Amino acid sequence: MAKHYDLGIKGEEIATRYLKDKSYEILERNWRHGKDEIDIIALDGKFLVIVEVKTRSTNFFGEPEEAVTSSKQKFLVRAAEEFILEKNLHFEIRFDIISIIIAENKQTIRHIQDAFYPELYD
């Protein structure tokens, strides 16, 4: 497998463990609807939390969370809507980003709650 793919898998494992340690209830990992994917879906109290995990080996080209573009946000919102409809859920929703840098056996985790708010998309 490609090195960046392996790094992404490792980042998602770290993020899942981090959230569990913070008492989040993990509902789904890598949930798909069509071409859209949500890395982690969790419950945090009254919130359904849609988590995008971005993992890099360096921040030389910018912080990992900067890769969550408006286009990616649109896909996440669309997938979240489908998940909520499919499961018939009634929670407040929050979109978080977990940004991870893994370099030389050292990891830096940044959890950005309410990283963005859904816009009205066509």
pLDDT of residue 2: 61
pLDDT of residue 120: 58
Tracing tokens 């977990």 back to the chain, one arrives at 98
pLDDT of residue 5: 64
pLDDT of residue 102: 92
What is the mean pLDDT for each group of 10 consecutive residues in the chain (122 residues)?
74 97 98 96 97 91 92 95 96 97 90 89 51
pLDDT of residue 3: 60
pTM higher than the cut 0.75: yes
Q: What percent of the chain has pLDDT over 70?
A: 93
Domains of the chain: 3-112 (3.40.1350.10)
The amino acid sitting at 44 is D
pLDDT of residue 78: 95
Residue 115's SS3 state is coil
pLDDT of residue 88: 96
Give the integer Cα–Cα distance in Å for 71 and 2.
24
- Using alpha carbons, select from 121, 2, 5 the residue that is nearest to residue 70: 121
